[in-house]
Structures are given as C-alpha cells and as structure tokens.
Amino acid sequence: MRILLVGAGGVGDAIAKIAARRRFFETMIVSDYDLSRAERTMAWIESRHGPQRGRFVAARIDASDPDGVAALAREHRVTHVMNAVEPKFVPTVFAGALAAGADYLYMAMSLSEPHPSDPYRLTGIKLGDDQFAQASDWERAGRLALVGMGVEPGLSDVFARYAADHLFGQIDELGVRDGANLVVRDERGEEIFAPSFSIWTTIEECLNPPVIWERDRGWYTTEPFSEPEVFEFPEGIGAVECVNVEHEEVLLMPRWLDAKRVTFKYGLGDEFIGVLRTLHRLGLDKTDPVTVRSAVGPVRVAPRDVVAAGLPDPASIGPRMTGKTCAGLWVTGTGLDGSPRSVYLYHVADNAWTMGEYDAQCVVWQTALSPVIALELLASGAWSGTGVSGPEAFDAEVFLELMARPEADGGYGQAWGIEER
C-alpha cells in the first residue's frame, strides 16, 4: 500500500504520526500546499522513530487542482489517497484520486446545499449526494471511495453496524452523541474561545439546517440547534447539553442499516452557539468572496476564511487544552432477547495522553485514528469493495477488535466502551 496523504494540518499531521507506528504500508507521501507543514510532520516522526529511509516523503500539493492531485499520485505510484483537507476540496481530491486509479478515503463527505425555499423542513443537496452520484464511475474503475471514515462520522458508524449485527434485533434510534469537557486557556490562564476543530468545518456543520432521518418520512431538516437535551457522558465528562447539528452519519447510516430514526446531536455549549449565531448575523459565515479595501488595494476574500485566519490553528492549541472528548452512539430498541434495550457505545480521548504520546490535541487525534485503522484493514484484505461506501458497509467486529487490541499484540490499544442506559 502506497498512500498519498493530502493535507498536513491538525488531522493530517496526526494521521501520519499514528501511521508511523504501523507496518501495513510501504510509503506515505505527506503533502500540503505549505511544504513546511509536511516537512514539520516528517521531522517529528523522524525525531521519534528515527530515519524513515523513504517510508515517509514530503511533497507540495494544490488540493484545488484535480490534475495536480492525480499527477502527484501517479508520480509516487499511489494506491490510496487519504484526504485530510477542508471539505471544500472534496470534489477536486475525489476526482484526482479516481483519475489516478487510486482508492480514496476521507473523514467527511461532499458538502450540502440547503433547500432554496424551505431549508428548515426540506433537504436540498445532502451531504455526500455528489459523491454517491458518482458511485458507478468508481465501480467501473474497480476502485473504492470510503467516505465518512473519521471518528464522527466513522467510528460512530462502525458502532452502528456493530449494534445492528451483535446487540439488537430491532433498532428504534441510532443517535450519535458527541460531548467534551475541554477548556483552552491563554498565556494568563484565562479561558478563551478556540475551537478544537476547523472553524470552517464547524460553521458548515452547525449553521446548516440539521438533517434527521425517519423510516416513515425519509430525510428532513429542522432549525439549527434544535431539540436540546442533556446527555450524560462517561469517564468524568458528565452532563452536557446537546443539540441537533447537520452531520454525515444521518446521511450514511440509513443507506445500510435498518432503524426507525437516525439523529446527530453535538454538545456545543451556550457560548459556542452564541458565537456561531453572531457570525451568521454578521454574514461572517459566508463562503462567497467579498471585496475588502486594503492598503494594497481591493482584495477578494471569503468572510469565513477571515474568521478562520483570526482564530488559533486547532493543531496548535493542544498545549493549552485540558480535558477529554467523547465520541459515541446511543442506540435504543429491542435486544436480541426481545427485551427493550438502550446502550451507549463510545470512545474517549484524553488531551493529556494524546499530547504526551503524539504531540496532537485530542480532537484531531481521535479523528485521525479511525482512517488509519481503516487503511490497515484495507491493506490486509479484511475490508474490501468498490464504489462509494460508508463504514457501515464493512464488518465492524474486525475494526473494533484491532482498535482495542494492545499495541504489544499488534493492535492500537484503544479501548472502547458499552454502557447500558
């Protein structure tokens, strides 16, 4: 397996660092528009693991150019393109991978567009629609595009497949619930607003109309931050208010799994929601460029890119962050014995541990873990396929076994939990 990693930001950096401990691939080309970021990742890996003798290679890439992506993939005889850049680059990286004859993995999916006249009731273009529309092209090419393969989506979808196969006879609701008790402080020790994930992606997820799926209704939308509920998260995180947010799991799970309802709720907090609402009111969430007068003359810039540039890089806040993050799935329905059952399947990442082991803050590290496991399963043949698929299309048990098995025995040493609720 020869992997082209597109993007060496927070998640891409963590993917390379996790992969550096594994032996399932021949070469990983760590690429970024800013070559120094790819070289920084390479330097960290060599400082921990010694000279890599061509196993890791740094390269420059323009993710907005599909021909450039394809050319770099061909140059290095790449078998798998691992996308780790903003979702706005999905169409070009996706096309470049197919043109190069490589398989494709990404933590999210192609972007949505709200319904033009009734956005808080009806779906428009849904997350992933553009990619699923090209499934036949990937099937004819004999290549696999594995989408939604991060933590949420990704691990949560693996949990859903596991619950359907091993825990439930009938599922009423697959409810993804994501919460944390993370705090970021400045040099004076004062708590600051510093999103732990790409603000570009966070704005997209949180201000778009959330999607819900019901068996008798299909996909429909609601108001942002709707249906608040307090959810109790494990391992000391505690009670967090969660609200509806647009997310890929709701668009993926019903394609492969039988459930009456699928939802995604995120523990954002009042301050975070307030900031996002203010950005929306001011038009700072927009992606279409506007003209800004500057000392060097008129400049065209997207307001959302200005917000992203003004906030701390999520990859840089780890040393100032404390706490844990939890990704999980709350499943309700009827157990295999015919009795009502309610369980929460989850994985918790502690920022102190991820910083100590990988010099990566816990949210980006947790997001990076699942795609590396998926790549290893594809390399071994435990997972295989063609077309466009989500994690639900594959055996969950082999994934979770490899994830939890101790590193000394060839696994990843990451325990996951099940709580009866």
Using alpha carbons, select from 182, 181, 204, 186 the residue that is nearest to residue 302.
204
Residue 185: its pLDDT value, please?
82
Mean pLDDT across 169-188: 92
Task: Break the chain into its structural domains and give their ranges.
Answer: 2-149+364-416, 155-363
**Do residues 377 and 210 touch, judged by C-beta distance below 8 A?**
no
Radius of gyration of the chain from its Cα atoms, rounded to whole angstroms: 21
Amino acid at 137: D
CB count within 10 Å of CB 257 equals 19
Which tokens belong to 114?
Answer: 């709200």
May I ask the CATH architecture of the domain 155-363? 2-Layer Sandwich (3.30)
Residue 320: its pLDDT value, please?
81
**Do residues 109 and 129 touch, judged by C-beta distance below 8 A?**
no
Confidence class of residue 308 from pLDDT cuts 50, 70 and 90?
confident
Confidence class of residue 184 from pLDDT cuts 50, 70 and 90?
confident
Secondary structure (DSSP) of 9-39: SHHHHHHHHHHTT--S-SEEEEEESSHHHHH
Give dist(CA 185, CA 191) in Å, integer. 4
Give dist(CA 197, CA 121) in Å, integer. 28
Give dist(CA 148, CA 105) in Å, integer. 8
CB count within 10 Å of CB 289 equals 12
Mean pLDDT across 59-81: 98
Sequence-separated (6 or more) residues with CB below 8 Å from residue 396: 158, 159, 161, 162, 165, 166
Checking if the pLDDT of 305 tops 90, the result is no
Confidence class of residue 273 from pLDDT cuts 50, 70 and 90?
confident
Q: Which range has the worst mean pLDDT, 76-85, 152-161, 180-189, 357-366?
A: 180-189
Checking if the pLDDT of 258 tops 90, the result is yes
Residue 299: its pLDDT value, please?
84
Residue 276: its pLDDT value, please?
83
Q: Percent of the chain scored above 70 by pLDDT?
A: 99
For CA atoms 214, 256, 376, 166, give the dihedral sign.
positive
Residue 307: its pLDDT value, please?
84
CATH for 2-149+364-416? 3.40.50.720
Checking if the pLDDT of 315 tops 70, the result is no
Mean pLDDT across 57-80: 98
**Do residues 361 and 315 touch, judged by C-beta distance below 8 A?**
yes
Question: Could you tell me where the DSSP H helices lie in 239-361?
Answer: 248-256, 270-281, 303-310, 351-358
Residue 30: its pLDDT value, please?
98
Mean pLDDT across 73-89: 96
**Do residues 212 and 221 touch, judged by C-beta distance below 8 A?**
yes
Task: Classify residue 407 by its DSSP letter.
Answer: G
Confidence class of residue 321 from pLDDT cuts 50, 70 and 90?
confident
Residue 189: its pLDDT value, please?
79
Which tokens belong to 307?
Answer: 């917000």
Average pLDDT value over all residues in the chain: 94
Pairing assessment for the beta strands 261-266 and 168-180 based on DSSP bridges: parallel
Checking if the pLDDT of 123 tops 90, the result is yes
Helix (H) or strand (E) holding 271: helix 270-281
Residue 418: its pLDDT value, please?
97
Tell me phi and psi for residue 197, to 5 degrees: -135, 170
Residue 14: its pLDDT value, please?
97
Confidence class of residue 144 from pLDDT cuts 50, 70 and 90?
very high
Residue 412: its pLDDT value, please?
98
Helix (H) or strand (E) holding 362: helix 362-380
Checking if the pLDDT of 329 tops 90, the result is yes
Mean pLDDT across 299-323: 82
Residue 270: its pLDDT value, please?
78
Checking if the pLDDT of 76 tops 70, the result is yes
**Do residues 314 and 196 touch, judged by C-beta distance below 8 A?**
yes
Checking if the pLDDT of 77 tops 90, the result is yes
Kindly report, residue by residue over 8-45, the tens digit of the pLDDT.
999 999 999 999 999 999 999 999 999 999 999 999 99
For CA atoms 200, 391, 370, 37, give the dihedral sign.
negative
Mean pLDDT across 79-98: 96
